[in-house]
Amino acid sequence: MAHDHKHDDKKHGHHHYVLPNSLAFKVFGALIFLTIITVWTAHFDFGAFNFPLAMFIATIKALLVCMIFMNLKNDVKENSVIFFTSFLFLAIFIVLTGSDIFFRGDVYVKGPLVAGASKSKFKKPWVSTAELVAHGKELFGQQCTSCHGAEGLGNGPAAAALVPPPRNFAQNAGWKNGYKPSQIFKTLKEGIKGSSMASFATLPAEDRWALAHYVVSINPAHAKDTTSDLAAVGVDPSKDGMGGESSSPTIPVSVAMAKLAVADINVAVASSVAKNPDAPVGSGAAYYQSKCVGCHGVSGEGALVRNMGVSPKAYLKTGSLSGVPFDRFKSVVTKGLPGDVMPGYGNLSNAQLQDLYNYVKSAR
């Protein structure tokens, strides 16, 4: 910061610099001329040179405005130093941020996070075959029964807690995206916004086709796919292939936009966990607190959940679970719910499972 000493030197006295109109017009003319130049040069493609040229012209115009209109030329040098240091710090900001962002190498996630690249067993998975339907039935058993029920009638154990309720595959009414296999395939890939139908994008494409065919088989009245339907999901029926894997290079925007619906479960409302301090160590309480509290919340109210297609449901709180039999509870806890985020805890003995079951029932 150059310093201007005491200002008793009346160098510029009372007659401060007054900008003559003639000079003002000359500068204005130059500015207009340079604007025309910059618009004109933008039409030619000089490749990498275009950007520096545009910036150079803009800088000349900016300097004209600063030096003449803002009178930096015959102002005390201190003000110019002050003003131009700001651009120095802006440059530091750009250069050092750039040193990170432009030197990371290719680390960005391209496609959606698909499960392990297992090889495809089916040539044309979009064409329904008995083997595909059987594979679909087996996957349905793991992935979908908790909401859609064993027979796909939308009466699964968790169905009561869900608004809107899960689809009943036996009826024709109420299908949001349509009930052709390709349409079911799209629903499986992106889920349904505003409902808790999760996106199963982490399942390979052929599994999703298998599920679609099984769901269609529940109510054979459904119409078949036409080539245009298949094209809508990026499938060319003439050639073999994975069945529409060429998804867009990043997480589809429509899925991303679904992500903002956040269930805010008010902790105060949830009944407090039966805090019996003298519960023996290793009982249901201790196991619950260590393994389950992460998703299901300290007092079973379901932690602050995010609805990015995968939302740990606060099953513990739903009325319909009061009647759930012990073996259904045991199967969910030991095998988990693949596709959903509920992992299986295989290494639990029957006694521990009983403890946990009692503890969870007491928690409500």
Rounded CA separation 240/212 (Å): 18
Amino acid at 341: V
Check if the beta carbon of residue 258 is closer than 8 Å to that of residue 201. Answer: no
Least Cβ distance, residue 244 to another protein (angstroms): 15
Among residues 75 and 137, whose Cβ is nearest to another protein?
75
Q: At what angle do helices 181-190 and 205-218 cross, to 10 degrees?
A: 130
Least Cβ distance, residue 169 to another protein (angstroms): 28
Query: How many Cα atoms within 13 Å fall on the side-chain side of residue 329?
Result: 21
Among residues 5 and 239, whose Cβ is nearest to another protein?
5
Rounded CA separation 152/144 (Å): 8
Among residues 215 and 305, whose Cβ is nearest to another protein?
305
Least Cβ distance, residue 1 to another protein (angstroms): 8
Least Cβ distance, residue 264 to another protein (angstroms): 5
Query: How many Cα atoms within 13 Å fall on the side-chain side of residue 272?
Result: 4
Among residues 84 and 326, whose Cβ is nearest to another protein?
84
Rounded CA separation 192/211 (Å): 16
Least Cβ distance, residue 323 to another protein (angstroms): 28
Least Cβ distance, residue 152 to another protein (angstroms): 26
Rounded CA separation 122/131 (Å): 10
Among residues 220 and 346, whose Cβ is nearest to another protein?
346
Question: Based on the number of CB atoms within 10 Å of its own CB, is 245 exposed (0-12), middle (13-18) or buried (19 or more)?
Answer: middle
172: number of Cβ within 10 Å? 11
Among residues 50 and 227, whose Cβ is nearest to another protein?
50
